[in-house]
Amino acid sequence: MSKTQMPWQERPEGCKDVMWRYSQNPIIGRYHIPTSNSIFNSAVVPFGDGFAGVFRCDNKAVQMNIFAGFSKDGINWEINHEPIVMKAGNTQMIDSDYKYDPRVTWIEDRYWVTWCNGYHGPTIGIAYTYDFKEFFQCENAFLPFNRNGVLFPEKIDGKYAMLSRPSDNGHTPFGDIYISYSPDMKYWGEHRCVMKVTPFEDSAWQCLKIGAGAVPILTDEGWLMFYHGVIRTANGYRYSMGAAILDKNDPSKVKYRTQPYLLAPAEIYELTGDVPNVVFPCAALHSIEEDKVAVYYGAADTVVGVAFGRISEIIEFTKNNSL
Residues that bind ligand BMA (CB under 6 A): 41, 100-101, 171, 239, 275, 278, 280, 298, 301
Q: Which residue is nearest to ligand BMA (CB)?
A: 275
d(CA 185, CA 63): 28
In the complex with ligand BMA, the residue whose CB is nearer, 275 or 304, is 275
In the complex with ligand BMA, the residue whose CB is nearer, 100 or 135, is 100
Q: How far is the CB of 292 from ligand BMA (least distance, A)?
A: 26
- Residues ≥6 apart with Cβ < 8 Å to 289: 2
C-alpha dihedral (14, 19, 23, 25), degrees to nearest 10: -150
Q: Which helix (H) or strand (E) element contains residue 269? A: helix 268-271
In the complex with ligand BMA, the residue whose CB is nearer, 111 or 145, is 145
Q: How far is the CB of 134 from ligand BMA (least distance, A)?
A: 26
In the complex with ligand BMA, the residue whose CB is nearer, 47 or 174, is 174
Q: How far is the CB of 106 from ligand BMA (least distance, A)?
A: 23
Give the three-class secondary structure for 242.
strand
Spatial contact of 207 and 198, defined as CB atoms under 8 Å apart: yes
Q: DSSP states of 282-321 as a string? A: EEEEEETTTTEEEEEEEETTTEEEEEEE-HHHHHHHHHHT
Q: How far is the CB of 14 from ligand BMA (least distance, A)?
A: 31
Q: How far is the CB of 149 from ligand BMA (least distance, A)?
A: 13
Nearest to 304 by CA among 93, 52, 29: 29
In the complex with ligand BMA, the residue whose CB is nearer, 233 or 249, is 233
Q: How far is the CB of 302 from ligand BMA (least distance, A)?
A: 10
In the complex with ligand BMA, the residue whose CB is nearer, 225 or 311, is 225
Q: Report how far apart, in Å, the C-alpha atoms of 43 and of each of 93, 95, 210 are.
A: 23, 23, 19
